[in-house]
Amino acid sequence: MKASLQDKEWVAKFEKPKGDPSGFLKPATTVLSPYLKFGCLSSRYFYHCIQDVYRSVRNYTKPPVSLSGQLLWRDFFYKVFFGTPNFDQIKGNKICKQIPWSENEELFVAWRDGRTGYPWIDAIMIQLRKWGWMHHLARHSVSCLLTRGDLFIHWEKGRDVFERLLIDSDWAINNGNWLWLSCSSFFYQYHRIYSPITFGKKYDPNGNYIRHFIPVLKDMSREYIYEPWTAPLSIHKKAKCIICKDYPKPVVDHDTASKECRKRMGEAYASNRLDSNSSKGKPSNLSRRKWSHGDHGASNSSIAKLLRTSRSE
């Protein structure tokens, strides 16, 4: 912690969700989450140490995007799960959109094992399995692809994988983020989807992250490192990586799959609205503030602004 806070300029300018998800030799965050999770580091002590840094500089970012704001998000998810029965599941969870997710074990296993055919996604899942950690934007990428982005598979299945493999897996935060990234709660702009091709490319155009975690692609041309299936056979042979033999082709076509996911999400949201309207009576303003309705207080301007600002994709 002290090593992270020594760079006062970095602390003052810290702004989430900005950061480089492809940075693995030198991560773009403090990587203190496992120590906070296991109680090796007091979150309260960390918070006040950050405040000490803020008092020593002229300008610094503010919550919810600041470094101290990340600790507030931690408490946010704790507070919501404490007041939400069945927070860790879709059934009986009043703040969770009831979405008819698909059952496709083949696609799920491909995602879990880093064999989707999308190098950016596969590298992230391999890093998770090998290191037990990855950048928060990398987590966003794979969570989106599994659920509302491409595969339309239940967020609970992804949550279980993270729970088992992440060294910083925290029950409230893990469940809360899967609810968020699947657009089942908190965040509802389901049409905004992380591309498994272009998102990683803007941070790491040479594909160094992919080359590190997927050695079979280490000699792939920069032009095709994020889409190796589009390269001609001559490129495959030169890179000693033949698609469908040494590395899989994509399990789905992203353009087609994401379009279908948007359609199914729209239908699910419409169905949730109908179910809400047909329920007996209307919830009071108080009950809305207590997150007891499917929209859980989205009309509350302060909360809505907080959510929009910090988790914009």
Instruction: Give the annotated binding-site residues for FAD.
Output: 29-33, 70-77, 168-170
Q: Do 119 and 251 contact (CB within 8 A), yes or no? A: no
Beta carbons within 10 angstroms of residue 9's beta carbon? 10
Residues in the chain: 313
| CB neighbour burial string for 149-171, b if at least 16 within 10 angstroms, e if fewer | bbbbbbbbbbbebbeebbebbbe
Question: Alpha-carbon torsion 118, 177, 51, 36, what sign?
Answer: negative
Residues making up the annotated binding site are: 29-33, 70-77, 168-170
Backbone angles phi, psi at 102, to 5 degrees: -85, 160
The secondary element (H helix, E strand) that includes residue 4 is helix 2-5
Distance CA 168, CA 32 (A): 9
